[in-house]
Amino acid sequence: MKRPILIHPDPRLKKVCAPVPEITDDLRRLASDMLETMYDAPGIGLAAPQVGVLSRLIVLDCVKAEGEAPRPLVMVNPEVVAASEETRVYEEGCLSIPEQYAEVTRPSEVELRWIGLDGEEHHEGFGGLWATCVQHEIDHLDGKLFIDHLGAMRRQLITRKMIKFKREQARA
C-alpha cells in the first residue's frame, strides 16, 4: 500500500530516528509499503521518516538501466562503517523536496553494515550512485536533508519555495 510522503518543511523530517529493536510483521509491511511508494514516485531511495515513521529503516534501488533486473534493498539500522577520502559530486533531489536539485559532495565509496528483513547482519561496500543514495537516506534518519549540505542562502531559497508549494497544494 502506498503511503503519503511528507514534504519539507515538516518537524518529523528533522528528528533523529530510533533504532529498530526487532523485525516484526509491522516492520515488514512498512518496508514493502515504502518500496511501493518509492517505485511509484518514482525515486531511488526512501527513508521511514519521509512517511512519518521515526524508525531507522531505509529502502533503495539504484538500478536505472532499462532491462536490468531491479535490486530492492531494505536496510534496518544502517550504519556507515567506513568512507573513502575520495569524494563524488552528484546533483541530488529528494521525494520530500519535489523538483529541487542541487550538487552535494559526499564520499564516493562507503562500507555499510545493516540488518536485513531476514534478521541477519549484512556488510557491503557501495560506490557510484548507490553510495550517494545510501548516504542521503541515512542522513534522513538523523533528521538531515540534502539541503543541509548547502549554504544557508540556497537552503532558505529552497525552503521558501517548498512553503509556497505546500500552500498551493493545500488550496488545490
* Catalytic residue flag (residue 36): no
Buried b (16+ CB within 10 A) or exposed e, 14-38: eeebeebeebeeebeebbebbbebb
Query: Which position's Cβ is nearest Ni ion?
Result: 94
Q: How many CA atoms lie within 13 A of 5 on its CB side?
A: 20
Under rule CB under 5 A, residue 57 binds Ni ion: no
Only one of the segments 4-12, 55-63, 72-80, 91-99 lies at the binding site for Ni ion (rule: CB under 5 A); that segment is: 91-99
Asked if 74 touches Ni ion (CB under 5 A), the answer is no
- Amino acid letter, 101: Y
Does 94 engage in binding with Ni ion (CB under 5 A)? yes
**What is the spatial distance between Cα 103 and Cα 153, in angstroms, rounded to a whole number?**
14
Residue 104 interacting with Ni ion (CB under 5 A): no
Q: Among residues 49 and 107, whose Cβ is nearest to Ni ion?
A: 49
The residues pairing with 29 across neighbouring beta strands, listed in sequence order, are: none
* Binding residues vs Ni ion (CB under 5 A): 94
Residues catalogued as catalytic: 137
